[in-house]
Structure 1
Amino acid sequence: MAKTEADIVAFLKSQAESNWQSSQEPFLLSQATPALKAAGLDYKAILGEERLKAFVKRTEDQGGYRLVSHPVQKPKVGVVPAGENFEFQADDLGQGTERPSHRRAEAGMPSDYSSRAIIRAFARLSDEELDQIVIPTRVFVKLLGGR
């Protein structure tokens, strides 16, 4: 029998309720992929190009669950039963959430993350906009965590 979106909805609802009853925590989408595969649900074949997070958001009402996202740690996304009130706690936002590359940059060491962020920002610009950018080398070195 072919698996459908309704099977994924039922699976997510079941996992959200089970996880909530056992730990009062959301069922994280990072756990969903291997769990779906173990349950014989090839969600990529069923959903096509749609991402799992977008699917969960789209099916919240019919599924009886709710999507919750961490305000700082973007990969931390989960599903809770619809009637439950859950938000990631403020202490989840405290120390230790910084990426190690940010600490290196503050300490004056080169930051690979900062370099990539700058390059990604430049990649969004048109050729005309890129031609207008002039960054003195000393400023660029400082941005990258140099002297």
Structure 2
Amino acid sequence: MALPTISDIARVTADTEIRYTQSGKAVAQTRLAFNKSKYNEQTRQWENDKTFFIDGTTWEDAAERAGQQLMKGVEVYVTGELETQQWEKDGDKRSKPSLTIRRFKVIPKTDQQPPQQSGYGHQGQSAPPQGDPWASGGDPMDSPPF
């Protein structure tokens, strides 16, 4: 039976820490937060409703990349297997969920600019971009401008 797999967007909550095993394999530890958002009708904004925190582990080459790319505040798309870490402390058995990260991709930050107006309800025409020979329409039988 396979372990449950998760693929979703998370935010890194602390800089990734890299360590090495005795055999020299890189191991990266990354703290992640998965947020469930809901739309607030009064403020007309998306707000975090619930947050799930989990420690993620990445191995070998992916661990080296994680150490370079997964810094606090970065948004990342991750895929990995959920596991239960178990240990004993002062005679008490303890456990917590963990995520073995198999793949990740940093989501680039975008500038928070207002959305561009779409063609719907747009009044008037905008001028074609200067220097763009394809913008003027032209004859479909024209040769490309190169």
Tell me the TM-score normalized by structure 2: 0.23
Higher RCO (Cα < 8 Å, 6 or more apart): 2
- Whichever structure has more strand as a proportion of its residues is 2
Q: Pick the structure with greater CA Rg.
A: 2
- Whichever structure has more helix as a proportion of its residues is 1
Tell me the TM-score normalized by structure 1: 0.23
